[in-house]
Structure 1
């Protein structure tokens, strides 16, 4: 149980009791840095930070002050002061869970309209810039989630056929807008795929679009590796004069008597003698068998 003492305009003091189960109750152990979580660095970890913050605030019954379900009671000065105290405590918790650069930017908090404008500007200026499709989609999805958290629509209490049709059409329109924003930032190498998707009679969902583009991305990577292997083989073949590695590994044969290749010394004509038909054949060699060439065969035929 907590008590809040206030003084009204007439100067009389009034005490308001705050029960321990009330969202406006602050335990003495609640300090500025009682929350333990990774600090918000930017859009890269916003979704995980947001979920951690929601869980921490819900466990202390303070989430309603952030999302607007617990409003300030202007009819009760004590409860109004307790609400202000809780609100400032939550602000200090948020300041302690963000990086220094973000803390400076939210010290003088942006209005709802300014924040929406900035997120929409970031969405239309987002580009893939050579990143993987999954990384680019995650970046866009973070901005969409942040924008949706600012666009809180009133709850529908009575459902009818017309309401269901309206909600379905509104949801489809939002999905198409996300698709256009996503395709707008794709790299130009996916220009053909973008045109093919936009020419479909029924536009695909974001999940189907990402799946299709990721398959195309995987094919490009595989074909890129194959093309590199072919180019490497062509360069290697050109540098070796078109001779294969197996051919290069065969040792060359060279005669030590005449210095020419393709035969051994014991088969060289300068050693065993030239055949009779060879211009270098000596007269005495034409009648001998040393040449073992055409002259040898002619002698046998005679």
Structure 2
């Protein structure tokens, strides 16, 4: 092999061109380090979700680099440059999926395997406060008017995270015949089933009673299907009902509104018509000559008429006190006294 051919071979190996697609060192031309391959970046509180998504992605790409299967190659060997290229690519994927504080803490780590190990040491250990928080959320989670699908999804998320923090023990015996693993799984599924039933709304009381009365009790997936079908049937029944009361109320509102508008128009028209009328007797507007009070007389409720009635009543009272209107009260009293004195003088001694 000439010097030029060897140089071309090294360039191809260093750039990834010519590497078999089945090789662990193969990188697709679309792969770049600054790509986000998970839904959320790594925070202090979401390591379990982040780890699950990142592992799924790396299994499809380069899991051998983070779990230590492919060790770093010695400098000068044919696989050294392909390994370095893949290592740099995976480090870019990991650091891009972290928030800035965590990313700065692993900035100077030499390989992606060390980053992976460090993250699991810091965030992957069992956390009692987080486990307690998840148990509280499970106890407080209720359907509360949401759909059965949404409610079940919320529970499933909490169950999966709780299992990752507090995993159920598994049998480690070879050729175990006691089936303890199977029984533990059944126990865990029953616990999830009871959690699901306890959080349902009161309208599902009938279907809950039927499920709990079934022997043996159905599986969680079957129970979910039964409850979802009950919800769907109830929704269809409610849609077929005619909302009588709301419709009647709307009709009443419409009629009342139309009546108020008609009344307002009628009053406005009457007032306008009367305003346009003029009296030729008193030269005032608002009435015609035929209805003028100065010609036909004032009614009893007219303010002037009331004043006159009060004056008449007062005069009547005054007449009762003074039988002779021409005399004042003092003269009338003198007149009475005069006749009394005269009658006394005429009596015989």
TM-score band, normalised by shorter chain: 0.3 to 0.5
Between structure 1 and structure 2, the one with the greater Rg is 2
TM-score by length of 1: 0.48
TM-score by length of 2: 0.42
